[in-house]
Amino acid sequence: MPGSKPYLDQLEFARIARAIEYIDAHGDGSVSLAGIARAARCSPQQLSRLFRRWAGITPQRYLGLISQLPMQALHEGRHAVLEAALNTEPAATCRPATLHIEVELASAAEASRADLLIDYGLAPSPFGLMLVGMNAERLCFLGFTDSGSRFSAQATLRAYWPRAALQWRPTVASQLANCLWPARPGAAEPARLKLWLSGTGFQLSVWQALLAFGGSEHCAYGELATRVHRPGGARAVGGAVGANPVSWLIPCHRVLGRGGALGGYGGGESRKLAMLAWEHIQSRRAA
């Protein structure tokens, strides 16, 4: 619905993901709303309402966007959604225009301090449950999960910040969701968000390159390796991309495999596909 926030719980996101996967797998256009709804395990009416809340358009309209691709792209089967994204000129950033991102680097000594406190929480987002970690107003973790368990959330955070004291504070996640996906982006107050990142020099160079992506820009691992002055280092770049501690804002989901293959993603390939589809829809709506 216009003006509503596109936040989804685990069940709702699972339906969207199945719908996008079904559309992507039937790139020859032989899909119907009823068929998509069956794949999403809900009624056509439920799917239409959910898709409109999530993306601002109906599933039928999204099929129309896909059908505007060249025929050779449509016949490539499961890569139809990826081809849609890659053939879209960067028309608009999917970040709120009023959001300004700064990066602060954590030294090894800071990252390993025993008195390091991280507030963490879970909240719905356009891509299911979002796990957020904050240290003194600095975002140090953002990821997506299919589990609402605090134990699982703590295990994920400790992989990045092993010595930190973790304090449950769900408002940090809901506040960030409101900042990243406001109901009315044009009316959002200007905001600054500081990322606090811990990593090797090479990892940080890859993350900075991803932060510099414009619009709905995409690239392959090999191209990203060239951008960070490591030609032939696609495998090393893949490792740095996989270690990204701040998903979505550092847009690792926009790095694709050779020939436009989807490639892996820490939050699951279906989530990566949904992110690409959502960005494609938003860029076309803003064009």
Q: Provide the Cα torsion 252, 244, 226, 279; round to 10°.
A: 10
The answer to whether residues 166 and 273 belong to one domain is no
* pLDDT at 186 (0 to 100): 60
**Percent of all residues in the chain with a pLDDT value above 70, rounded to a whole number:** 82
The answer to whether residues 103 and 89 belong to one domain is no
The answer to whether residues 138 and 15 belong to one domain is no
The answer to whether residues 117 and 234 belong to one domain is yes
* pLDDT (tens digit per residue) in 124-137: 999 999 999 999 99
* pLDDT (tens digit per residue) in 47-63: 999 999 999 999 988 88
* pLDDT at 73 (0 to 100): 37
For residue 113, being part of any structural domain is answered with: yes
For residue 2, being part of any structural domain is answered with: no
* pLDDT at 239 (0 to 100): 95
| pLDDT band at residue 72 using 50, 70 and 90 as cut-offs | very low
The answer to whether residues 104 and 234 belong to one domain is yes
State the residue range of the domain holding 21: 10-93+267-286
> What does the pLDDT average to over 159-163?
93
Q: How far is CA 157 from CA 30, 107, 121, 153, 165, in A?
A: 43, 17, 11, 6, 10
Q: Which residue type sits at 250?
A: I
Beta bridge partners, 101, equal 193
Rg over CA atoms, the chain: 19
* pLDDT (tens digit per residue) in 198-242: 999 999 999 999 999 876 788 999 999 999 999 999 999 999 999
| pLDDT band at residue 248 using 50, 70 and 90 as cut-offs | very high
For residue 110, being part of any structural domain is answered with: yes
For residue 48, being part of any structural domain is answered with: yes
For residue 40, being part of any structural domain is answered with: yes
The answer to whether residues 281 and 143 belong to one domain is no
> What does the pLDDT average to over 53-77?
67
| pLDDT band at residue 87 using 50, 70 and 90 as cut-offs | low
pTM above 0.85, yes or no: yes
Sheet harboring 128-135: ordered strands across? 99-105, 191-197, 138-145, 128-135, 117-125, 165-168
pLDDT at 30 over 80: no
| pLDDT band at residue 114 using 50, 70 and 90 as cut-offs | confident
The domain that contains 26 carries what CATH number?
A: 1.10.10
* pLDDT at 55 (0 to 100): 92
Measured from the Cβ of residue 98, the count of other Cβ atoms closer than 10 Å reads 15
The answer to whether residues 123 and 204 belong to one domain is yes
The answer to whether residues 139 and 67 belong to one domain is no
The answer to whether residues 56 and 196 belong to one domain is no
Look at the block and give the residue holding tokens 């803003």. 286
The domain that contains 170 carries what CATH number?
A: 1.10.10.10
* pLDDT at 92 (0 to 100): 43
For residue 51, being part of any structural domain is answered with: yes
> What does the pLDDT average to over 193-201?
95
For residue 261, being part of any structural domain is answered with: no
Q: Length of the chain in residues, anyone?
A: 287
The residues that are catalytic are: 252
Count of structural domains within the chain: 2
Which long-range contacts (C-beta less than 8 Å, at least 24 apart) are formed by 183-190?
Answer: 183/3, 183/4, 183/5, 184/3, 185/96, 185/97, 185/98, 188/96, 188/98, 189/98, 190/98, 190/100
* pLDDT (tens digit per residue) in 95-112: 665 788 999 999 988 988
User: What does the alpha-carbon distance between residue 10 and residue 61 come to, in Å, rounded to a whole number?
Assistant: 24
**Percent of all residues in the chain with a pLDDT value above 90, rounded to a whole number:** 61
